[in-house]
Amino acid sequence: MARLGLIVRGVVQGVGFRPFVYRIARAHGLAGFVQNQRGRVAIEVQGERDALDAFLAELGAAEAPARVDEIVATEMPETDAEPFVIRSSEASSEVRATLPADLATCADCQREVATPGERRYRYPFTNCTRCGPRYSIVESLPYDRARTSMKGFALCAACAAEYANVADRRFHAQPIACPKCGPRIWLLDAAGVEVARDDAALDQAVRLLCSGRILALRGLGGFQLLCDATDDAAVQRLRERKRREQKPFALLFPDLSAVRAAAKLSFDEERALMGPEAPIVLLRRTPGARVAPAVAPDSPLIGVMLPYTPLHALLVEAAARALVCTSGNLSEEPMATDLDDALERLGAIADAFLTHDRPIVRPVDDSLVRLGPRGTAILRRARGFAPQPVAKIDAPVAVLALGAHMKGSIALCQRGEIILSQHLGDLESPSAVRLLERTIDDFLAFFDAKPDVVACDLHPDYASTRVAERIAGELGARICRVQHHHAHVAAVMAEHGIDDPVLGLAWDGTGFGSDGTVWGGEVLRVNAAGFERVAALRGFRLPGGDRAMREPRRSALGLVHAMDPERAEALAEEWFGERDGHVLSSMLAQEIGSPLTSSMGRLFDAVAALVDLGPRASFEGQIAMQLEHLAERGRGAPWPIPFEASNPLRLDWRPMLEALLSERDRGVDRADLAASFHASLAELALRVVGHFSPARVVLGGGCFQNRLLETATIELCEREGFSVLTPRTVPVNDGGIAVGQAWAAAHAAG
Ligand code: ZN
Ligand code: ZN
Ligand code: FE
């Protein structure tokens, strides 16, 4: 006989972990208890050694969505053997840190929904302790039904019995519901008039989808827009109405076999699709896939997800085809969550509305992952992941970090960890800024936070910077401005728990530099105390500044101008016509409205424009993505990018540009030019790393969303014996900036 005290960490709260512990303890005839504590679960078990060993083995192998990261066991004196119980949680202040993420329908619930005769047959809101809404319905903590948007639905007798039965899969499942007592669905026409309820609403919605109509669906974390993804005209119509020209749409597939018929699927990608987070996974589409071209123009990739609520499953299974499933908004505003808001904002887009009466407390987008050289990496962290911690940190202060401007998110550093919020979208609209402010309020309340420091970007005009200045004043906190690319590198250090010096390649779109110019092709030496800019791309000018983001030819003009002004002038006239071309040329010549930049993202744009990938991009990085896909089909040797001796070291792209132009003019295939460009950058990375010979290399910034560049850079550097770190749980793009700000500000204060 023995008694063990166990502390379990991992994903162990809000996922049915305590009933699981209860069942296995009882199964092995053990005495003791299990209890939720702040951010962890405490267990005491007493019994025969064999039984304890068997219990520990099963405990460590807890199934998703639960995940055991660590079990710390200590021997304890035996006590009277009381039967195993679930003890009530510690005082509420101690369990505040528990805020579970929304989880996709589990296999058991899927089976119930699909089985005629079951109480919840075809019920769109079926869930249990292992699945269902969480973060999107929580109003305050601790996480109990009375503090969720399910509070208005009184449990029927059958649901109440399940809720109270410790042996039931729905023991203490806060959003528990059934057709008798839970939320319902109904269908409205475009004018907002109800036309059907329940099953009839589902049937009609499916008929509309299959006849090419656009459906606004009130989903889990907000309204989404759906249409038949095999119908090119329907997809085009959605693009026109949503004013989204080319950015790929995510697709909802009925099941895994349908995905397999449309895309190549590796083991890791399949696992990501099927996981409880059920993100959108970027996959390579197979030729002949039944997917309309307008879904992802000019891209060999499609973003695919499987149904994560019974409502999505019922719709897409009945439609029996892939559906476009994109967030319900105009351009990049936050999603609509309320029906009235949706009717107003989406009325001109949708032909009908399928809605329900379970309020959505906060918008939560679909997450996005893709497989990289190191396994799956999260590019947009939202549903299923938020608001879970992404890093452990030993920090003397609490920090609230407000992120960047595009792909906004916030992070909170306190009590030894950094928690990252859901993706908040680009802070370009007043509604997006309001969402940022609301998320700050949420985090301060949920995590009982009293930040000593508010961190933000160095950019004076980011909306997040202005909010930070105001919030810091209100909270009486210090403000800490963290340079954008420093934050990119620090985010990766935070994820990997590294304080030792690293060499960071922050290859990015644009960010405000410490010298007031626009940075983006940076090599930084970063340690806990701060950073030093040791190398950067040679500067060039962007005529029209931010407009270059959507017009890659402006970057190309700036680049060519820095090498050969006359050639740039001719190019300006060819591309923009005599009048506009002349304006652009004189802006460059007189250095008016043409900020100096070292941006790698704009270098990508410039090269893409020079190999003639088109005059305009409908979203940032679009043309760089096309360049990557082009390069996959080509072969080419690297072009020279020598170092200019200076401090910081200048990476001189001019010889590369010369080689590019001469090969292009000789008629070398565009794919080969694109391949040479990618090879040049990977080779440049290796030479930079070799020059500084650091213990560790970190890759950060939006350019490393480019899988070809990331893979080649890692391979080259590792072949020479350098250790390379990339982020996987923190987005490599600006969605991860808040984590880096929190990390840098916490260390700067230490
Ligand atoms: Zn379930
Ligand atoms: Zn019920
Ligand atoms: Fe960035």
Tens-place pLDDT, residues 18-50: 889 999 999 999 999 998 887 789 999 999 999
Say which ligand is closest to the CA of 408.
Answer: 3
Supply angle C-alpha 246, 248, 254, rounded to 5.
145
Q: What number of other Cβ atoms are within 10 A of residue 210's Cβ?
A: 17
Q: Ligand 1 centroid to 120 CA: how many Å? A: 12
Hey, what are 139's tokens? Answer: 């109003």
Hey, what are 720's tokens? Answer: 């020479």
Q: Ligand 2 centroid to 155 CA: how many Å? A: 5
Q: Ligand 2 centroid to 385 CA: how many Å? A: 28
Q: Ligand 3 centroid to 600 CA: how many Å? A: 11
Q: Ligand 3 centroid to 601 CA: how many Å? A: 9
Q: What is the 3-state secondary structure (H, E, C) of 402-417?
A: CCCCCCECCEEEECCE
Question: Which pLDDT value is given to residue 330?
Answer: 80
**CA 139 to chain CA mean position, Å:** 23
Q: Ligand 2 centroid to 182 CA: how many Å? A: 6
Q: Ligand 3 centroid to 358 CA: how many Å? A: 37
Say which ligand is closest to the CA of 181.
Answer: 2
Hey, what are 168's tokens? Answer: 């039931």
Question: Which pLDDT value is given to residue 63?
Answer: 82
Q: Ligand 3 centroid to 102 CA: how many Å? A: 28
Helix (H, G, I), strand (E, B) or coil at 568: helix
Question: Which pLDDT value is given to residue 15?
Answer: 82
Residues that place a CB less than 5 A from ion ligand 2: 156, 159, 178, 180-181
Hey, what are 358's tokens? Answer: 């379970």
Question: Which pLDDT value is given to residue 91?
Answer: 54
Question: Which pLDDT value is given to residue 93?
Answer: 45
- Phi, psi (degrees; rounded to nearest 5) at 645: -65, 110
Q: Ligand 3 centroid to 99 CA: how many Å? A: 28
Q: Ligand 2 centroid to 150 CA: how many Å? A: 12
Say which ligand is closest to the CA of 160.
Answer: 2
Q: Ligand 1 centroid to 174 CA: how many Å? A: 12
CA dist., res. 194 & res. 186, Å (int): 7
Let me know: does 238 contact 225? Beta carbons within 8 Å. Answer: yes
Let me know: does 600 contact 507? Beta carbons within 8 Å. Answer: yes
Q: Ligand 1 centroid to 451 CA: how many Å? A: 37
Q: Ligand 2 centroid to 163 CA: how many Å? A: 10
Supply angle C-alpha 703, 704, 708, rounded to 5.
105
Element (H, E) at 411: strand 411-414
Q: Which residues pair with 354 in a beta bridge?
A: 187, 217
> Which residue, chain included where needed, has tokens 């930079």?
688
Q: Ligand 1 centroid to 109 CA: how many Å? A: 4
Say which ligand is closest to the CA of 104.
Answer: 1
Averages of pLDDT over runs of 10 residues in the chain (750 residues) are 92 84 93 86 94 94 85 91 82 57 96 98 96 94 88 97 91 94 97 96 98 98 98 97 92 97 96 96 94 94 98 98 94 90 95 98 97 94 95 94 97 94 95 97 92 97 97 97 98 97 97 97 97 98 93 96 96 96 96 96 97 86 93 97 96 98 96 98 98 97 97 98 97 98 93
CA dist., res. 153 & res. 176, Å (int): 10
Q: Ligand 2 centroid to 644 CA: how many Å? A: 72
Q: Ligand 1 centroid to 127 CA: how many Å? A: 4
Q: Ligand 2 centroid to 268 CA: how many Å? A: 37
Q: Ligand 1 centroid to 130 CA: how many Å? A: 5
Could you check whether the bond before residue 648 is cis, i.e. omega within 30 degrees of 0?
Answer: yes
Say which ligand is closest to the CA of 601.
Answer: 3
Q: Ligand 1 centroid to 336 CA: how many Å? A: 26
Q: Ligand 3 centroid to 487 CA: how many Å? A: 9
pTM of the model: 0.93
Q: Ligand 1 centroid to 113 CA: how many Å? A: 10
CA dist., res. 694 & res. 525, Å (int): 9
Q: Ligand 3 centroid to 182 CA: how many Å? A: 44
Say which ligand is closest to the CA of 106.
Answer: 1
Let me know: does 457 contact 466? Beta carbons within 8 Å. Answer: no
Hey, what are 289's tokens? Answer: 């896939």
Let me know: does 424 contact 408? Beta carbons within 8 Å. Answer: yes
Question: Which pLDDT value is given to residue 94?
Answer: 47
Q: Ligand 2 centroid to 116 CA: how many Å? A: 17
Q: Ligand 2 centroid to 154 CA: how many Å? A: 8
Q: Ligand 1 centroid to 111 CA: how many Å? A: 9
Burial of 231 (0-12, 13-18, 19+ CB in 10 A): buried
Residues that place a CB less than 5 A from ion ligand 1: 106, 109, 128, 130-131
CA dist., res. 376 & res. 385, Å (int): 14
Residues 6+ apart with CB under 8 A from 369: 272, 279, 280, 281, 282, 376, 377, 378, 379
CA dist., res. 650 & res. 698, Å (int): 19
Q: Which residues pair with 46 in a beta bridge?
A: 3, 31
Say which ligand is closest to the CA of 403.
Answer: 3
Question: Which pLDDT value is given to residue 580?
Answer: 95
